[in-house]
Amino acid sequence: MKRVSYKRCKLDIIPNVDIGSAIISRDGNVVVNNDSRIIKRPYKREGNPTFVFNVIYSVLKELESNGCDEFLVDITHGTNVLVSITLSVGSLFNSRFFSAPVIGNPGTQEEC
């Protein structure tokens, strides 16, 4: 097992341009309506896939320019569009990808 320690963690939020929707929560609890149905909010469709590609590329390029020589990218909860673009952009850099076992075989961690 390879143990990695991080000096810092940086998160960059990428806008979603897919057709999914987010489940609303308050204080860690899922919000439901009067019919006990989960309340969802559609993602905003402000960008397009080319915009998302450029954003992800810019983030990785900036990190690489600042001395980051390897990227470990979690694609567990990405939409089809976001995962496809992230895999494409990541292939241009020294990147490894992983997802939670719910996407792979039970009890294993899939790595691309």
Residue spans of the domains in the chain: they are 46-111
Task: Extract the tokens encoding 14.
Answer: 């990428």
Q: Does the pLDDT value for residue 34 go beyond 70?
A: yes
CA distance 36 to 103: 28
Q: What percentage of the chain reaches a pLDDT higher than 90?
A: 12
User: Which among 46, 104, 48, 49 has a CA at the least distance from the CA of 75?
Assistant: 104
**According to the model, what pLDDT value does residue 100 have?**
76
The amino acid present at 28, given as its one-letter code, is G
pTM, to two decimals: 0.56
| pLDDT tops 90 at residue 91 | yes
